[in-house]
Amino acid sequence: MTSGRLEGKLAIVTGAAKGAGAASATLFAREGAEVVLVDIDDVRGEAVAHTLTAEGLTARYLHCDVAREDEIRALAATVVAEHRAPDVLFNHAGTVEVRKLIDTSLDDWERQLRINVTSMFVMSREFLPPMIAAGGGVILNTSSISGFTVAPLEAVYCVSKGAILQLTRSIAIEYREDGIRCNAICPGFMRTDHGLKELADLQSHGDPISLDAVAQTQGRMCEPEEFASVALNLVSDETSFINGASVVVDNGSTVIT
Ligand SMILES: NC(=O)c1ccc[n+]([C@@H]2O[C@H](COP(=O)([O-])OP(=O)(O)OC[C@H]3O[C@@H](n4cnc5c(N)ncnc54)[C@H](O)[C@@H]3O)[C@@H](O)[C@H]2O)c1
């Protein structure tokens, strides 16, 4: 059952082929949004879109590598020409590479920053003009608790997630009078391929992290649907006065001593 909290809205979700992006796109569609799912995993992305349309919902998958400016430009042109300006832009796609700082090449550094945060700058730059011309909208960026805490072996990831918070605040202030809200969502460990691979990669580097250790700090893994419900709240009109915020979804892990 849905209450239509996004009825009449057009929502773009990146990283929507699986995990928390797919859960968010699914919830947005069930709440009445017309959803454009964006990813590089075409098989899974098409499958999620197909599942949604089979439910009678409005969804479409479009390929776009968010690390590539040319593909983002093409995505924006397609969305505006074949749909309209989005009401909701959810920049969720991202990746984590676990590596010691001294083993990190300049290519490693630039690749992760490009996928995680340069992508959000380019997406916002390309979609803001049509959103503003249409009267405004909401941008939501997926950061992480790693945006303000740090862990060994994840320097580049933490830098990228911290940069997302400042990009988010900058957009919130610069475009507030144009009807744009921009917020960041900061999850702890989630039960997705990203989260489980991150744990395995840390362990393979000798880090003592484990599901038990995660349970001690955040109780348990966050389910993708729990993340999606917070994302829905932040992109809906119910949070019309939340702007420039970093909303933590971690079951208290960053406040426990
Ligand atoms: N899972 C966690 O524990 C956790 C914790 C904090 C933050 N996050 C953030 O959540 C996001 C990842 O989401 P998830 O946990 O749902 O992971 P996931 O692995 O289930 O999904 C990530 C999706 O992003 C897509 N993607 C990766 N690179 C892309 C690119 N260049 N262009 C387009 N799509 C791309 C993948 O194909 C995949 O479908 C990232 O921004 C990550 O930093 C995850």
Tens digit of each residue's pLDDT (9 = 90 or more) over 165-188? 999 999 999 999 999 999 999 999
Residue 200 has what pLDDT? 97
Instruction: Give yes or no: 61 in active site.
Output: no
Site to probe by mutation for ligand 1, drawn from 91, 117, 192 as the one with most ligand atoms within 8 Å of Cβ, is: 192
Distance of CA 177 from the midpoint of ligand 1 (Å):
31
The closest residue, in CA terms, to atom 25 on ligand 1 is 15
Is residue 3 pLDDT above 80, yes or no? no
Distance of CA 115 from the midpoint of ligand 1 (Å):
10
3-state helix, strand, coil in the chain (%, to 5): 50, 15, 35
Half-sphere exposure of 57 (CA within 13 A, CB side): 30
The closest residue, in CA terms, to atom 8 on ligand 1 is 144
Is residue 116 pLDDT above 80, yes or no? yes
Give a yes or no: residue 169 inside a domain.
yes
The total number of structural domains that make up the chain: 1
Give a yes or no: residue 3 inside a domain.
no
Which residue is associated with the tokens 């959103």? 131
Tell me which H or E stretch contains 200. Answer: helix 193-204
13-53, pLDDT tens digit by residue? 999 999 999 999 999 999 999 999 999 999 999 999 999 99
Confidence of residue 1 (pLDDT cuts 50, 70, 90): very low
The DSSP result for 122-180, as a single string, is: HHHHHHHHHHHHTT-EEEEEE--GGGTS--TT-HHHHHHHHHHHHHHHHHHHHTGGGTE
Classify the phi-psi angles of 152: left when phi > 0, otherwise alpha if psi is within -120 to 50, otherwise beta: beta
Site to probe by mutation for ligand 1, drawn from 36, 194, 225 as the one with most ligand atoms within 8 Å of Cβ, is: 194
The ligand 1 atom nearest the CA atom of 190: 3
Distance of CA 20 from the midpoint of ligand 1 (Å):
8
Give a yes or no: residue 157 inside a domain.
yes
Q: pTM (2 decimals)?
A: 0.98
Question: CB neighbours (10 Å) of residue 4?
Answer: 11
CA dihedral 70, 76, 78, 84 (to 10 degrees): -170
In 3D space, the residue among 95, 31, 29 whose CA is nearest the CA of residue 61 turns out to be: 29
Residue 2 has what pLDDT? 53
Q: Which range is least confidently modeled, 27-31, 90-94, 230-234, 253-257? A: 253-257
Give a yes or no: residue 255 inside a domain.
no
Is residue 151 pLDDT above 60, yes or no? yes
Q: Which domain holds residue 156?
A: 10-190+223-248
212-229, pLDDT tens digit by residue? 999 999 999 999 999 999
Is residue 7 pLDDT above 70, yes or no? yes
**DSSP reduced 3-state for 185:** strand
Percentage of the chain exceeding pLDDT 70: 99
Residue 206 has what pLDDT? 94
d(CA 85, CA 9) in angstroms, rounded, equals 10
Q: CB under 6 Å to ligand 1: residues? A: 14-15, 17-21, 39-41, 65-67, 92-96, 115, 142, 144, 187, 189-190, 192-195
Residue 152 has what pLDDT? 95
In 3D space, the residue among 38, 28, 36 whose CA is nearest the CA of residue 7 turns out to be: 28
d(CA 105, CA 29) in angstroms, rounded, equals 40
Residue 195 has what pLDDT? 97
Give a yes or no: residue 199 inside a domain.
no
Distance of CA 128 from the midpoint of ligand 1 (Å):
23
Is residue 257 pLDDT above 90, yes or no? no
Give a yes or no: residue 196 inside a domain.
no
Domain CATH code at residue 66: 3.40.50.720
Give a yes or no: residue 59 inside a domain.
yes
Give a yes or no: residue 206 inside a domain.
no
Is 202 exposed, middle or buried (CB count within 10 Å of its CB: 0-12, 13-18, 19+)?
buried
Catalytic residue among 90, 127, 157, 175: 157
Distance of CA 188 from the midpoint of ligand 1 (Å):
13
d(CA 94, CA 26) in angstroms, rounded, equals 19
d(CA 62, CA 122) in angstroms, rounded, equals 17
**Phi, psi at 246, each rounded to 5°:** -115, 105
